[in-house]
Structure 1
Amino acid sequence: MNRTNERAPRRGQISVAGVIIGCIGCVIITASSVYTALKMGALPWPTIFTSITALVLLRALGRTSLSEANVTQIIMSAGSMVAGGLAFTIPGIWMLGMGDKAGWVEMLAVALAGTLLGLVCTALIRQRFVEESDLEYPIGTAAAETLMASRAGGATGRKLFGSMAAAGLWCALRDLAGVIPSMLLALPIPGVSFGIYNSPMLLSVGFLVGGAAVAFWFAGGLIANFGIIVGGSTAGLWDVASAQGIVSSLGMGLMMGSGLGVVVHDILPKAARAWRGTRGHRGAAETDAGATSGAGGVTPRDRGVLALFVAAAALLICFGLGLSPIVCIAVVALAFVTTIMSAQSVGQTGIDPMEIFGLIVLLAVAALGETNQVKLLFVAGVVAVACGLAGDVMSDFKTGHILGTSPRAMWIGQAIGALLGTVIAVAVMVALLSAYGPESFGPGKLFVSAQASVVATMVSGIPSVGAFVIGLVGGVALHCLGIPAMMLGLGVYLPFYMTISAALGACVKWAYDRLSARSAGKTGTGTVDNAKETKHDESGIIVASGVLGGESIVGVIIALMSVAGGLFG
């Protein structure tokens, strides 16, 4: 897509209505994403959910442009990855007992620096990674197909917002009124938090992830809780407390090993081939065209704006976070490297291990002599935000490339959503911290914050180094064999009641798919009605996404009410 084509259509793709809808959606999605990431230790991609929502709302206003819906959903979803980058790193500071050194000013500096670096990197690599590479970007492609195939109308809107309302009411009855118990069928097994967490949101996570991934999640939970904790302590190999340390270390190793496996197996080989191809392209006769491609097709004026973004991010890292100029240069440079890795990872697998990329840079900065634990976690936060945003941007660019949306319009939409999401994510983090206190974050706590716990443990010390090394090596090996080590590690690491609840959601997904296939097969010819099957799949995604959003949004509202009660009570 040449530069002329990028500019011409964007006027009809960024509208006042779309920006307003996108900003309202951004506030809601970002707030719920913070809550979901902290509560569940996971952050399902909101792209398809926001795509459907944007299309429903725009069509209600009489607008039918898929590109306008694409840009609107970009604004809505951009803040979620900023939220993920913060939620997966910063709570580690609270777990280390140093929450007084990470207030809203520092969190805002982390989020804003990461956002600016993420926006710059994606502007520079967009053309190479989306238009010229063979990367699939499965989530972006699925979102484009959903927008093209969907006949979103009143029924879709009712499903989406009805499921949100039902889940929100359930959450309010459970957490606010105390009418519904939060845990069902709990059993007193030493060292094992056995039970069913009464959470529609967690059931939705299991439904949306589904299939083999949740099976490995469940297998990890069985190995950790009934193999290592119950089995090992019963056999006298260790006591329950030691077993729990082994389990947490093994889970952390598996998750980090999975992230390293993505880098080693998926990213570096293709990045090397891409680099060799870029060098060969630039050495050819079409020097000017090659230079334009390598720079992502941006104009000299654009480069000036991007340079200002980089300078602003560097100033935030230096003066806002108190890091030295040498460390600042290293963070900025490595942020560009890891955002490219993130874009590659999302393009190949749809997975963005943003906190792992943050850990990589954290360890590099520690090697330069930085020993302050809080500052190291700030570094991880900046990189995680940048990488999360890069993955989101590139996936959204793939959607727009399929639909013919202007890249410039998409980038502007992403910038609006990301900057707004930065403010909202920090505000929600501060509200949750004020409402529940730093002691509510960590394994087995109200907010499990699994990824942040991994980062904090890497900074402060690992309970069982041997188990961590086994998990690290095993995670890399399993990923190279095509086994989802990240999900296995989550099962090992997370409390077992969360694993059971997610598994029940996956069972619901299995039953729903069987019923959908049976219904679609009832045609006059005895063949499967593909259109009907697709409609059933979309309906399931819509309802599950609405349920997830409903509970997480009400959870944030309850936290805000708690803060307000403390201020004015």
Structure 2
Amino acid sequence: MTAGEHHVAEVEMEAVAEESSHQLRRRRGEEAAAGEGEAEAMSMERVFDEKPVPTWREQLTVRAFAVSALLGVMFSIIVMKLNLTTGIIPSLNVSAGLLGFFFVRTWARVLEKTGLLKQPFTRQENTVIQTCVVATSGIAFSGGFGSYLFAMSDTIAKQTTEENDAQNIKNPKLGWMIGFLFVVSFLGLFSLVPLRKIMIIDYKLTYPSGTATAHLINSFHTPQGAKLAKKQVRTLGKFFVVSFLWGFFQWFYTAGDDCGFAAFPTLGLQAYEHKFYFDFSATYVGVGMICPYLVNISVLLGGILSWGIMWPLIDAKKGDWYPAGLSPTSLHGLQGYRVFIAIALILGDGLYNFFKVLGRTISTFISQVKSKGNAATLPISDDSSPITTSGISFDDRRRTELFLRDQIQKPIAFGGYVVVAAVSIATLPHIFPQLKWYYVLVAYIFAPVLAFCNAYGCGLTDWSLASTYGKLAIFTIGAWAGASNGGVLAGLAACGVMMSIVSTASDLMQDFKTGYLTLTSPRSMFVSQVIGTAMGCVIAPSVFWLFFKAFKDIGVPGSEYPSPNALVYRNMAILGVDGFSSLPKHCLTLCYIFFGAAILINLLRDVVGKKVARFIPLPMAMAIPFYLGSYFAIDMCVGSLILFVWELIDKAKAATFGPAVASGLICGDGIWTLPQSVLALVQVKPPICMKFLSRSMNAKVDTYIATLS
């Protein structure tokens, strides 16, 4: 993730998963203290022991994919809006699980009353829905609509003065975007299928997000869990309606630029000029309730450091450090410091975590391989090296048996990878002539190794570093192609290729872990992931196309949808082919300082331990407001404050219903974007402009209006 993309979501998911793992450890400790007999009685699979496990075909129902398509559209709209505003994407897994449970349970009850219910709603079907929805909405993120893909456009290229010639520009079109996603999004699904037994059973990787999701779904389908889920869904629905209506109400006052509640100078006009204000966004209040406190505080600190201290000081150097008459969007002026210092922080944080996770992955993998003893072969596929079930719990025994029952044959995995890779190598140069076939071939040769590293590291730490691999592809392929051969466009396209592979591979392993813990067939999980990915390849670009056509200033700084990460990615690609010659005075020195600071802060966080580290800010989160400002950070901190006060009053209720309230706020405001886009397309404009002026400016306006009358 770059400036606010996936890394914040990863940190947030790590916190959620860590909380879940604490609960799991506590539960296991209680079971151990109560004795083996009682632990067996408290076993999750004992609760479901009397219920037959559906076959993998029975888990794949028409209603599951109908609900998945509906929720996929909803979540794709939400993710797209977040992509094009700040790029902070919270985890929507809880919302997907909750709403999937609600829709199918409602469907089943209606059919049950009419006597037409043929198949009960199971946790396996719930898992299939959650997997499919996350796969669908995941394409809205990994498709690069707010980053590498939109960075190719003329809109973003105009904001730079280097490498913005025709060979480095490709404007969005619905046809080629859908085609591109179809040829790059499926390869990751085949790359690691043969290793699923190693990852899940032999090495027992945690995959905290997958584990947390599985326990959520398991709890829904117990009698007590079903009652709680209904209350959570009811709460989510209430705040969904409130958020939707609030978005509708705000729309009436946005008839011009800088109009409406989003431009409310809540902290004063001087603070508003420096991007410090509360913009009444239900979305980012909800995001703040989901993200850990540390993420929100880090974002606010980054805003204070940049817009409160650094940019005013650098602005005072106008005429010395950079020419005074430049456009506000010129990268040779203040905007250059904003963008490139943010990139330095992002790269420093990303590379540190990349090498940390890679080192831990390699050392742990080597030690686990050695622990296998003198075995001649590794248990790479389902049919190798039988599992010994003596001495393991009933739950593990039951889950292992079901996990190994429905095999995904190796020829399907290997053959699928080769076929999809061949199609991709042949097709991509026609979509991007600058991306030669041998660039793609080299990427696909190394991709399985990188996908394994990412999936293994994600299983250990819950951190997916897909965007870091994408950035490496930008620099390597871009430099290989060179500036004279469309290296900027080649690097951005290569970023999409690499990101798609390593991201979908780790997502699939997370889903396999969820399926393992819910007794969902790996075969049905794989099929649902494929179907969800296919739906996402159509839904995500269609949603983006709707935004692109409805909002004419999309990607323009200061607009409703500035798409800040697109400019960041394009400038990374320019750096890859041109070097540092285009940076303004002292910008490179400041970049070195912040690059080193990001590494030192991360190192300090690892050295001091978790108790102290939770008070040390996250460099990646701090980088987000360097370019955008602090208005959304204030929204997020308001969300944190609401949750904090709620926890002081009733911690249990806040923990239970907080995610539902946050999800309702995010979903309602996100879905309002759909009718707002339709209104924009049919040229229906808001009737009122609510604007805020200083007292002196207001007096001048009054005087001017008096002269007209």
Unaligned runs of at least 5 residues, structure 2? 1-52, 110-119, 159-167, 386-403, 606-615, 685-709
% of aligned pairs identical?
20
Alignment of 1:551-566 (within 5 A): 551-565=669-683
- The aligned counterpart of 2:151 is 92
| Partner AA of 2:178 in structure 1 | L
Number of equivalent positions: 542
1:446 correspondence with 2:560? yes
- Contact 1:22–1:75 under 8 Å retained in 2: yes
- The aligned counterpart of 2:599 is 476
Alpha-carbon offset, residue 425 of structure 1: 0.8
1:28 correspondence with 2:74? yes
| Partner AA of 1:90 in structure 2 | L
Please, which of 85, 95, 106 is the counterpart of residue 49 of structure 1?
95
Q: How far apart in 2 are the matches of 1:191 and 1:293?
A: 65
- The aligned counterpart of 1:215 is 297
Q: By percentage of residues, which structure has more helix?
A: 1
Q: Deviations over 1:151-206 (max 9, x none)?
A: 24543332222322221221122235649522222523596222112210011111
- The aligned counterpart of 1:145 is 215
Q: How far apart in 1 are the matches of 2:430 and 2:366?
A: 34
Alpha-carbon offset, residue 451 of structure 1: 2.9
Q: How far apart in 1 are the matches of 2:137 and 2:231?
A: 26
Alpha-carbon offset, residue 360 of structure 1: 0.7
- The aligned counterpart of 2:474 is 362
Q: How far apart in 1 are the matches of 2:131 and 2:303?
A: 35
Alpha-carbon offset, residue 367 of structure 1: 3.2
Unaligned runs of at least 5 residues, structure 1? 1-6, 518-532
Q: How far apart in 2 are the matches of 1:273 and 1:337?
A: 16
Q: Deviations over 1:346-400 (max 9, x none)?
A: 3344343433321111212123225412232122123233333334323222222
Please, which of 196, 200, 217 is the counterpart of residue 126 of structure 1?
196
- The aligned counterpart of 1:544 is 662
Considering only aligned residues, what root-mean-square deviation do their CA atoms show, in Å? 3.1
Alignment of 1:286-301 (within 5 A): 286-287=376-377, 289-290=379-380, 298-301=408-411
Alignment of 1:2-41 (within 5 A): 9-41=55-87
Alignment of 1:208-287 (within 5 A): 208-231=290-313, 233=315, 242-271=333-362, 273-274=364-365, 277-278=368-369, 284-287=374-377
Three-state SS of the structure 1 residue aligned to 2:559 is: coil
Alpha-carbon offset, residue 67 of structure 1: 1.7
- Contact 2:239–2:664 under 8 Å retained in 1: yes
Alpha-carbon offset, residue 551 of structure 1: 1.2
- The aligned counterpart of 2:501 is 386
TM-score, L = length of structure 2: 0.70
Q: Deviations over 1:482-509 (max 9, x none)?
A: 3522112224333221222122112122
| Partner AA of 2:595 in structure 1 | L
Larger radius of gyration: 2
Three-state SS of the structure 2 residue aligned to 1:352 is: coil
Q: How far apart in 1 are the matches of 2:56 and 2:480?
A: 45
1:319 correspondence with 2:439? no
1:503 correspondence with 2:562? no
Three-state SS of the structure 1 residue aligned to 2:269 is: strand
- The aligned counterpart of 2:244 is 168
Alpha-carbon offset, residue 78 of structure 1: 0.8
Please, which of 218, 227, 232 is the counterpart of residue 156 of structure 1?
232
Alpha-carbon offset, residue 556 of structure 1: 3.5
Three-state SS of the structure 2 residue aligned to 1:481 is: helix
Three-state SS of the structure 2 residue aligned to 1:223 is: helix
Alignment of 1:525-544 (within 5 A): 533=652, 536-544=654-662
- The aligned counterpart of 1:195 is 277
Q: How far apart in 2 are the matches of 1:310 and 1:324?
A: 14
- The aligned counterpart of 2:535 is 420
Q: How far apart in 1 are the matches of 2:233 and 2:271?
A: 44
- The aligned counterpart of 1:80 is 137
Q: Deviations over 1:245-297 (max 9, x none)?
A: 3233222211222221221111243135426755886x944537446589996
Q: More deviation in 98-107 or 486-495?
A: 98-107
